[in-house]
Structure 1
């Protein structure tokens, strides 16, 4: 399910010689999310760990406040892709109806702008806790991350999101062709486990959405191996999230340090 082997043609630069070979290719398929019988989103993603993904997606979309609000998750495969049916507690039912009604009442042109503005203005319910981790732990997790990217080792085409303890040991990692999906899988799985981790590490650039998801998960610190965007830094600073980017073997960039953890 995570990938398949396909025949490709390899071309050499030196003399243009060609040969056939097999290569592992990451699986990407549409996954439709239905909430209480209403279509909400179609994600292009790697179709494994779908229950963890759906849990994280419900939380980061603010459709549910906690795991207890998610009554059931039913993934099933169809010829066109996957469908994941999610059923929420009655106390959350109004959110999906309002969201779907809003989406269907606007033109496609206006929807993009309105949806983006709504996302920027979504409230953050609680500030993240102060991180209790030394820089050495971040370097340790960064060094160990590759050994947890099993699908990427075979395909070279997927992102990873990992949960780490105070020593920098990676305690859980999830992969997906989409960076947001990988983080939602991690957030969902850790919420189901009731775990409180020292920090999260992602292989992608750090955008506004990645920071927003980390804030919903109340991660003390988000670390990425690629660069942050301006809006990501602004969002982290505005809501008290410690943000570290461009994590390399010998250096990293502290973009937001509200608790002076690295002072």
Structure 2
């Protein structure tokens, strides 16, 4: 169970609240660490686009990663400026982009309100909902030991979740299994967007590493990864049927139920080298 005393420094994205904790019929007032969740509005050239419920940390990464993973921008240099403004209702991220990008966005504007479990709310057309990224080329060649190495590091690299028990993480592992970057958020899509932004800003080469996420592999996660050029996605939980279909058509190697002792490869197993054994059906 998460918890925090008044003297313990909280990680960014966490708040301290007094709660009543009960155990074996005995209760007491304690301080607890709670994950923050606030409305974050993204405006492109002063035009409102979307409001996402997210953890208010790593916002520059979020702004860049969302813009790239949603296909609003093609390259990082097109994001000219990000201005974060804290308001009573939440946070506004005012993004300055080339006029042509803003005009194209206005034409396919969805006016959606994102939630922690939904990346589609308010989509106006099927092509908005199921966007087909370009096929991913290349990617790393890893083995089971590399995946286990990445997973072994993941737990301790989530300070916000360790404090609150309420957040997802998206992690970037290099080809040897070393975790280079981790981003956390109450929403799995937001965590991935933050990681994509951090990857680009750090100059990491996406063809030389792979993505590990602590959530299920929904199709939006595969969609965002493929749009960013990520060729291998390993999820702690299960994929959906549409995620598998999208991974197949975009050339993404999709792994589900990733554990230190086992995992399931759903698509494009050529990037995973492993000893072949008979598995009981």
TM-score above 0.5, yes or no: yes
TM-score, normalising length from structure 2? 0.85
Residue 175 of structure 1 aligns to a residue in which SS? Answer: strand
Q: Residue in 2 aligned with 1:98?
A: 107
- Residue 131 of structure 1: CA displacement? 2.6
- For the 8 Å contact 2:234–2:254, the answer to whether it is kept is yes
Residue 222 of structure 1 aligns to a residue in which SS? Answer: strand
- Residue 112 of structure 1: CA displacement? 4.1
Q: Residue in 2 aligned with 1:204?
A: 215
1:72–1:27: structure 2 CA closer, same or farther, 3 Å change rule? Answer: same
- For the 8 Å contact 2:144–2:272, the answer to whether it is kept is no
- Residue 196 of structure 1: CA displacement? 1.1
- Residue 94 of structure 1: CA displacement? 2.1
Q: Residue in 1 aligned with 2:143?
A: 134
- For the 8 Å contact 1:59–1:66, the answer to whether it is kept is yes
Q: Deviations over 1:164-185 (max 9, x none)?
A: 1111000010000110000000
**1:231-242 → structure 2 map (5 Å cutoff):** 231-242=242-253
Q: Are residues 1:215 and 2:230 paired?
A: no
- For the 8 Å contact 2:216–2:236, the answer to whether it is kept is yes
- Residue 68 of structure 1: CA displacement? 1.2
- Residue 116 of structure 1: CA displacement? 4.7
Q: Are residues 1:38 and 2:47 paired?
A: yes
- Residue 257 of structure 1: CA displacement? 1.6
1:156–1:260: structure 2 CA closer, same or farther, 3 Å change rule? Answer: closer
TM-score, normalising length from structure 1? 0.90
In structure 1, distance between residues paired with 2:95 and 2:173:
28
**Cα RMSD over matched residues?**
1.8
**1:1-263 → structure 2 map (5 Å cutoff):** 1-12=12-23, 14=24, 16-100=25-109, 103=111, 112=122, 114-120=124-130, 122-197=131-206, 198-257=209-268, 259=270, 261-262=272-273
In structure 1, distance between residues paired with 2:53 and 2:89:
12
Q: Residue in 2 aligned with 1:107?
A: none
In structure 2, distance between residues paired with 1:164 and 1:113:
32
Higher helix share: 1
The alignment covers a number of residue pairs equal to: 253
Give the unaligned 5+ runs of structure 1. 105-110
- For the 8 Å contact 2:183–2:195, the answer to whether it is kept is yes
- For the 8 Å contact 2:257–2:264, the answer to whether it is kept is yes
- Residue 230 of structure 1: CA displacement? 0.5
- Residue 193 of structure 1: CA displacement? 2.3
- For the 8 Å contact 1:69–1:88, the answer to whether it is kept is yes
In structure 1, distance between residues paired with 2:123 and 2:169:
29
